[in-house]
Amino acid sequence: MAKSAVKFRDTVTAFERLSKEIAARKFAPIYLLMGEESYFIDRLQEQLASSILDEAERAFNQITVYGKDSDAGQVVNLCRQLPMMGNYQVVIVKEAQQLRQIEKLSFYTQQPQSSTILIICHKEKAPDRRSAFYKGCVAHGEVFESITPRDYEIAAWLEQFIGARGWRIDRKALAMLTDHLGTSISKIANELEKLSVSMPEGTERITDVDIETHIGISKDFNNFELCKAVVTRDMGRSLMIADHFARNPKENPLLVTIMALFGQFRDLFTVNYLSWLTRHKGRPFPSDQELMRILRKPSPFIVQEIRQQATLWPNKKVFSILGLLREYDAKSKGLNAGGAPDGELLRELLLKIFLL
């Protein structure tokens, strides 16, 4: 099956559009909510479930079934029923990826009823786009694909997500969240929900102290602090953080740390190369706005900081460090590691970086 051309930014745009249409009571006969990131699927399903019918109507006209307990024929029969004392009947299929003979939903999706709104939550993957079922959803309803963001996309989205709730978040606090929780928006949203309950009323700014206090991520021993210590050539601080990571390996996976360091040195390499083009080829050095786009950074302050750090690391060394990081990425996955624990591998990696 061909890989989807949908990008994370497309998911966000489609999510915002559908949310507005649902709030304006512009409903489609069919919603196929599919993809690997469950957060957006769950939010749209919840909004639809609470918006189409009022509370009294839901008791008679809203039905929820689960894929593992149903088959396509049962869902089709439910969709063909008429609503009781109302304009709409709502049929919600959760975990539709487990629905038996899902292709047979095409008997309904190709000719939906105007009085039924069918909501299909198909998580983890997309159904076969060549199927009559899928084509019926495209022709007569809304197909929403939920894509997991790349590591460089999550910070900008999260900053916007937090801003929409009336908060600001410090750069370090943002890095602590994304480093610790990865790109799973569901996990991040869940932790922020807990944070919103714990924070004092009237809070406008989230700091690293808030993240440490309420989420449990150390403000002093994390990948943000490690990368900062390494690029500023603070060997003592770097090894101290590495020792903390070694004592808490579950909270600080080596692979995540290597990815953070790789991203840091990749940025230094890019800035140094652009400087070389300016010196030797006469090309103008990019403006801060252009550099933000090239490096995928959210603010000019960050790119200015990277430019300053790049002067400490000539590209000959950076290229060697990127090679070391690829080598230790393989070791973190068990290749040629010799049975060494992650803490020992990280300490070894850092010493090699500083001794180059």
CATH number of the structural domain spanning residue 295: 1.20.272.10
Tell me, rounded to whole angstroms, the distance of Cα 94 from its chain centroid.
22
Cα dihedral across residues 206, 151, 161, 302: positive or negative = positive
Picking from 215, 244, 264, the residue at the C-terminal end of a domain is 215
Residue 133 to residue 30: CA distance in whole angstroms: 11
**Which helix H or strand E contains 23, and what residues bound it?**
helix 8-23
Q: Give CA angle at 347 (342, 351), nearest 5°.
A: 145
Q: Which residues of 77-103 are buried (b: 16+ CB within 10 A; e: fewer)?
A: ebbbeebeebebbbbbbbbbbbbeebe
Q: Are residues 155 and 142 in the same domain?
A: no
Per the domain annotation, does 2 fall within a domain? no
Say whether pLDDT at 336 is over 90. Answer: no
**Which helix H or strand E contains 186, and what residues bound it?**
helix 185-198
Residue 209 to residue 212: CA distance in whole angstroms: 5
Per the domain annotation, does 136 fall within a domain? yes
Q: Are residues 38 and 135 in the same domain?
A: yes
Mind listing the pLDDT tens digit for each residue in 16-69?
A: 999 999 999 999 999 999 999 999 999 999 999 999 999 889 989 999 999 999
Q: Are residues 142 and 14 in the same domain?
A: yes
Mind listing the pLDDT tens digit for each residue in 153-203?
A: 888 888 888 888 888 899 899 888 888 888 888 888 888 888 888 888 888
Tell me, rounded to whole angstroms, the distance of Cα 224 from its chain centroid.
18
Residue 129 to residue 122: CA distance in whole angstroms: 13
Q: How confident is the model at residue 204 (pLDDT cuts 50, 70, 90)?
A: confident
CATH number for position 204: 1.10.8.60
C-alpha distances out from residue 337 to 35, 321, 349, Å:
35, 18, 12
pTM: 0.76
Mind listing the pLDDT tens digit for each residue in 235-264?
A: 999 999 999 999 988 888 999 999 999 999
Q: Are residues 173 and 280 in the same domain?
A: no
DSSP bridge partners of 49:
none
- pLDDT value at residue 233: 92
Q: Residue 264, CB half-sphere, CA atoms under 13 Å: how many? A: 24
Residue 44 to residue 204: CA distance in whole angstroms: 27
Residue with token string 């749209």? 44
For residue 287, what is the DSSP state?
Answer: P
Cα dihedral across residues 53, 55, 56, 58: positive or negative = positive
Its domain, for residue 111, covers: 8-146
Per the domain annotation, does 158 fall within a domain? yes
Picking from 146, 164, 198, the residue at the C-terminal end of a domain is 146
- pLDDT value at residue 105: 95
